[in-house]
């Protein structure tokens, strides 16, 4: 008994500690490989190196329970996307991607198509187990002469004993058994479900550091036709995940808001990165900024659509100055003026007042620069549809909004497929149709900009177009380049020279176009 106890304790200690997560023992059905903890340490190192901490953006495949044990190791991270990647990588930008080998080809194609700069993916065993070749060692007895048929070998079959004899004396069974007893090595590779881990190209997993170039702001460039552009997919300063709106400050600086990265960035008039600030509070998980506007004093206002609020920052993006708005109650009664249901965009009039498209409530709400309620423009209330309507001064999914040089308020009334124009008091003046608006796709949200000469530029994201209308609705120009099509154009801003910076959410960039070029028609 003492000798057996010694060997039992020795085996227990070796199986638990020496080979704790390596399947060299026929004791556990399946177990996580030690690469999981090593990769978790690498993710922690990347979070520290980037300064993002627990806001590091991580995508985890859920196919075949692949998300476990990542659920445990990533439990403190606040921005982890979990989905079955069988159709490819989800929309948005990610710092780390963890994918099941079965879905790897679809994800690899997506990463290549998006132009995201990841290092060569690291293949690792996600779960593994002791080789199960023994399951088939005694199978296929009593086959037909042509090799078909066969059934499990039973003790009463002569074929069973012939297999055992040939395995022991003519095969490798005895050698494999001795090798396992002596060296504790399996005769064939472990069974496993493998995964692939993607890290940024500038990250050194051995040192846990980012290359200096990974922290340097990206510089502006040009597209294939020589048009100026800036941005691109990535998480370096000056890059984007899903940019949506753009505005210009009094000094010509450009501001771009990114709905997927919860980021507001500032650029000089040529697109060189100057500053950035995150829009997501640690205590507020719901966020999704879609719109912005600049006040006469340079204050930057942001419509945090799915944070249900309006934010304000100083021109240098160093301090938050203001935050107001509350989540909608959906209680069947008219919402109060500060209950915002997906505020999509805002514009600022000559007095500095904020005109906000409260998109989900189908109304326009006007506030002072400090967030005090002034008035609202809306239709009759219904518990089912809020203030939705199609009459003059009524709205159905209002999105983009801008103030004309003459003080008129111009609004993209999406589901009514029209542009509405109001006077400075909010009274209806006129409207005109926009063919191509009216769809219900979640990302098909149009923006507009009133140019200095009174023309109105509107975006049609799903069609890849920006159209320019006269102030009364006559179509003048369509910007739809053939060489490099617009990919989900959203926000528009006019330069001092009369050109248009257009945000492309689908290409994560901002490009400059001449609004009068015949070649863009």
Mean pLDDT value across residues 292-298 = 97
What are the φ and ψ backbone dihedral angles of 378, each rounded to 5 degrees? -165, 170
Q: 307: Cβ–Cβ under 8 A, 6 or more apart, which residues?
A: 279, 280, 284, 286, 287, 288, 289, 325
Percent pLDDT > 90 in the chain is 64
- Better-scored residue on pLDDT, 37 or 284: 37
Per the CB < 8 A criterion, the answer to whether 250 and 294 are in contact is yes
pLDDT, residue 23, reads 57
Q: Could you tell me the strand order of the sheet in which 418-422 lies?
A: 398-403, 409-413, 418-422, 428-433
Answer yes or no: are the C-beta atoms of 294 and 348 closer than 8 Å. yes
pTM over cut 0.85:
no
CB atoms within 10 A of CB 519: 10
Residue 146 pLDDT greater than 70, yes or no = no
Asked if pLDDT for residue 283 goes beyond 50, the answer is: no
pLDDT in tens, 336-345: 999 999 999 9
| More confident position, 31 or 272 | 272
Task: Categorize the per-residue pLDDT at 187 as very low, low, confident or very high, splitting at 50, 70 and 90.
Answer: low
Confidence of residue 269 (pLDDT cuts 50, 70, 90): very high
Confidence bin at 278 (pLDDT 50/70/90): confident
The pair of three-digit structure tokens given for residue 190, joined into one six-digit string: 């472990």
Domains and CATH numbers, the chain: 15-129+191-210 (no CATH), 133-183 (no CATH), 216-520 (2.120.10.30)
Burial 89-122 (b: 16+ CB within 10 A, else e): bbebbbbbbbbbbbbbeebbebbeebebbbeebe
Return all residues near 329 (Cβ < 8 A) that are at least 6 apart. Answer: 335, 339
Can you give the three-state secondary structure of 492-513, one letter per residue? EEECCCCEEEEEECCCCEEEEE
Check: CB of residue 159 under 8 Å from CB of residue 138. no
Backbone torsions φ then ψ of 466, nearest 5 degrees:
-125, 125
The pLDDT assigned to 20 comes to: 56
Bridge partners of residue 60, in order along the sequence? 82, 98
- DSSP letter at 118? B
pLDDT at 521: 33
How far is it, in rounded angstroms, from Cα 422 to Cα 393? 8
The CA dihedral of 404, 409, 410, 413, to the nearest 10 degrees, is: 170
Residue-wise pLDDT tens digits, 80-131: 999 999 999 987 778 999 999 999 999 998 887 666 678 889 999 988 776 7
The upper half-sphere exposure of residue 31, i.e. CA atoms within 13 Å in the direction of its Cβ, equals 20
Binned at pLDDT 50, 70 and 90, residue 30 comes out as confident
191, burial (CB in 10 Å: exposed 0-12, middle 13-18, buried 19+): middle
Q: Is the dihedral of CA 184, 189, 191, 192 positive or negative?
A: positive
- Report the chain's terminal Cα–Cα distance, integer Å: 92
Strands of 141-200 (E only): list them.
141-143, 149-151, 191-198
Q: How many CB atoms lie within 10 A of CB 125?
A: 21
For residues 494 and 500, what is the distance between their CA atoms, to the nearest angstrom? 5
- Residue 302 CA to residue 343 CA, distance in Å, equals 10
Q: How far is CA 409 from CA 249, 414, 459, in A?
A: 19, 15, 17
DSSP character for 218?
P
What CA–CA distance (Å, rounded) separates 496 from 120?
Answer: 44
What six digits make up the tokens of 269? 């008039």
Averaged confidence pLDDT in the chain:
87
Beta bridge partners of 503: 510
Tokens at 180, concatenated: 């396992």
Min mean pLDDT across 118-127, 347-356, 446-455, 462-471 is at: 118-127
* 32, pLDDT greater than 70: yes
Residues pairing with 395 in the sheet: 388
């Amino acid at each position: 008994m003492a000798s057996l106890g010694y060997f039992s304790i020795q085996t227990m200690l070796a199986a638990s500690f020496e080979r704790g997560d390596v399947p060299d023992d026929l004791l556990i059905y399946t177990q996580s490989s030690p690469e999981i903890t090593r990769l978790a340490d690498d993710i922690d190192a990347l979070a520290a190196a980037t300064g993002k901490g627990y806001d590091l953006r991580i995508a985890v495949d859920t196919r075949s329970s692949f998300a476990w044990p990542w659920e445990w190791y990533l439990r403190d991270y606040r921005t982890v996307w979990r989905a079955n990647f069988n159709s490819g990588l989800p929309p948005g930008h990610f710092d780390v991607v963890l994918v099941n080998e079965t879905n790897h080809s679809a994800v690899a194609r997506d990463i290549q198509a998006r132009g995201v700069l990841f290092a060569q993916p690291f293949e690792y065993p996600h779960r593994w187990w002791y080789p199960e070749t023994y399951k088939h060692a005694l199978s296929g007895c009593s086959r037909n002469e042509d090799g078909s048929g066969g059934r499990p070998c039973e003790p009463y079959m002569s074929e069973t004993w012939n297999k055992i004899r040939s395995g022991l004396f003519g095969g490798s069974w005895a050698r494999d058994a001795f090798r396992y007893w002596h060296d504790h090595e399996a005769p064939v590779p472990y069974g496993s479900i493998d995964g692939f881990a993607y890290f940024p190209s500038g990250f050194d997993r051995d040192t846990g550091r980012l290359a200096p170039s990974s922290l340097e702001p990206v510089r502006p460039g040009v597209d294939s036709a020589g048009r100026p552009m800036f941005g691109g997919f990535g998480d370096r300063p000056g890059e984007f995940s899903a940019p949506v709106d753009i505005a210009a400050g009094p000094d010509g600086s450009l501001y771009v808001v990114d709905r997927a990265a919860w980021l507001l960035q500032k650029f000089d008039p040529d697109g060189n990165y100057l500053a950035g600030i995150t829009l997501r509070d640690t205590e507020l998980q719901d966020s999704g900024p879609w719109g912005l506007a600049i006040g006469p004093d340079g204050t930057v206002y942001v419509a945090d659509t799915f944070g249900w609020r309006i934010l304000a920052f100083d021109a240098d993006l160093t301090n938050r100055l203001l935050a107001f708005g509350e989540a909608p109650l959906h209680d069947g009664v008219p919402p109060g003026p500060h209950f915002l249901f997906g505020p999509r965009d805002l514009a600022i009039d000559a007095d500095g007042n904020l005109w906000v498209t409260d998109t989900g409530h189908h109304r326009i709400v006007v506030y002072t620069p400090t967030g005090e309620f002034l008035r609202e423009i809306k239709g009759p209330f219904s518990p089912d549809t809020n203030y939705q309507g199609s009459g003059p001064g009524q709205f159905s999914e209002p999105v983009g909004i801008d103030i004309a040089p003459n003080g008129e308020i111009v609004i993209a009334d999406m589901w009514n497929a029209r542009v509405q124009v109001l006077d400075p008091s909010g009274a209806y003046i006129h409207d005109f149709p926009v063919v191509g608006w009216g769809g219900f796709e979640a990302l098909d949200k149009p923006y507009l900009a009133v140019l200095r000469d009174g023309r109105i530029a509107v975006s049609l994201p799903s069609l890849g177009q920006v159209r320019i209308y006269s102030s009364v609705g006559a179509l003048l120009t369509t910007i739809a380049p053939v060489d490099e099509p617009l990919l989900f154009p959203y926000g528009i801003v006019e330069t001092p020279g009369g050109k248009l910076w257009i945000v492309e959410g689908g290409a994560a960039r901002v490009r400059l176009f001449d609004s009068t070029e015949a070649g863009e028609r």
